[in-house]
């Protein structure tokens, strides 16, 4: 966090914004992936439960 603090004191807001946007994009990709995995598992579970 000290590197981020130094960047903030330096006045490079653009770099901080890019870092935050990059982190948020990665978190968003993980969340969407987990949601898709959950939907896929639910669909598979429905098909399996119908047969049995």
DSSP states of 9-45 as a string? HHT-HHHHHHHHHHHHHHHHHHHHHHHHHHHHHHHHH
Check pLDDT > 70 for residue 7. no
Q: How confident is the model at residue 16 (pLDDT cuts 50, 70, 90)?
A: confident
pLDDT reported for residue 2: 65
- Does the pTM surpass 0.75? The reply is no
d(Cα 7, Cα 17) in Å, to the nearest integer? 11
Residue pair 18/26 in contact by the 8 Å Cβ criterion: no
pLDDT of residue 3 exceeding 90: no
Could you tell me the two tokens for 8? Answer: 């903030």
């Amino acid at each position: 966090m000290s590197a981020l603090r130094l960047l903030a004191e330096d006045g490079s807001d653009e770099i901080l914004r890019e870092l935050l946007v990059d982190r948020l994009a990665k978190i968003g990709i993980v969340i969407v992936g987990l949601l898709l995995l959950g939907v896929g598992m639910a669909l598979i579970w429905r098909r399996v439960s119908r047969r049995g």
